[in-house]
Amino acid sequence: MAKVIYGGQSYECGESSVLDCLTAQGVAVPSSCRSGICQTCLMRSIDGSLPEKAQAGLKPTLAAQNYFMACSCYPETDIEVVMPEAGLGKLAARVVSVEYLGTDILGIKLNPASPLEYKAGQFINLFKDEATARCYSLASVPSLNELLFLNVRKVPGGMVSNWLFENLRAGDNVAISEASGDCFYVPGNPEQNILLIATGTGLAPLYGIVRDALLNGHQGKLSLYHGSYDVSGFYLVDELKKLAQMHDNFSYVPCVSDGVAPAGYAQGMVLDAALADNPDLARWRVFLCGNPNMVNAAKQQTFFAGASMRDIFADPF
């Protein structure tokens, strides 16, 4: 008989779902529909195999991280589970380099004291002190880069970003969290076209995702649009242009929304430019990162353009 292990305790599951098994033991698991639709009872497996039905309807990025719906999970073997927010512990990291990527953007490379499992495009928390931390997306790719690569924009009055700009130096030791987030590339559909739209340092996760997709042999279009008010807001331009020269299926379009766009740059809002070039997004995958207003508008408009909500991945910040 399969057992469910949670919080160091082992419970006989019998023919019950994980949700029913745990709630019968007094474990508070959020739930609503109890039919595998609302995903309120989402949990994560850290050991043991999951029945296919337990992940039916989940985004591939969630399934790849062993998330499942407790109400639909009837385990056939022993399984150890945690709540979705569990596991984001702290680890130490050494600052290897700090450099300006733009007028108000820092590129920070970190060497974690112990191996960090992550996927390009996920994020980590970087701690200023025990009580103050901010999330930063990973622009690095695990199989390409030995170091973690963060892109940090200076936020006026920002407690963490100002501290990083003014105090962080190579050789410093910092605390970071384990990686989290579902905005990353999942192999398995190499012919699918992918649209990526970013503003500001929303470029960071997309820079990682694009390189990860190319590394995995993605063959469909990879169309990256990066928006800024003016040219001073762009960074990693040379790296992205070189990548576009190396791969016929990758295109990079920097979009200037205010002022005159120089040669090689598109004029206008990044979302408008992306949809003008790609009006039919049926069966496309979409990644949206950066300004929350842009991301929210883009989720709606790319859906109206034909993309399935299952294939739209967003990371607003």
Domain locations along the chain? 3-82, 90-177, 194-316
Residue partners of 203: CB distance under 8 A and separation at least 6: 139, 151, 226, 235, 236, 289, 290
pTM over 0.85: no
Tell me: domain 3-82, CATH 3.10.20.30, correct? yes
Q: Which CATH number applies to 194-316?
A: 3.40.50.80
**Residue-by-residue pLDDT tens, the chain, 317 positions:** 899 999 999 999 999 999 999 999 999 898 878 888 778 899 999 999 999 999 998 888 889 989 999 999 999 999 999 998 665 678 899 999 999 999 899 999 999 998 898 999 999 989 998 778 899 999 999 999 999 999 999 999 999 999 999 999 999 999 998 888 889 999 999 999 999 999 999 999 999 999 999 999 999 999 999 999 999 999 999 999 999 999 999 999 999 999 788 998 999 999 999 999 999 999 999 999 999 999 999 999 999 999 999 999 999 98
| Strand pairing report for 312-316 and 79-82 | unpaired
Nearest-angstrom CA–CA distance, 291 and 304: 20
pLDDT at 149: 98
Residue partners of 107: CB distance under 8 A and separation at least 6: 97, 98, 99, 100, 101, 149, 150, 151, 235
Name which CATH class applies to 90-177: mainly beta
pLDDT at 81: 96
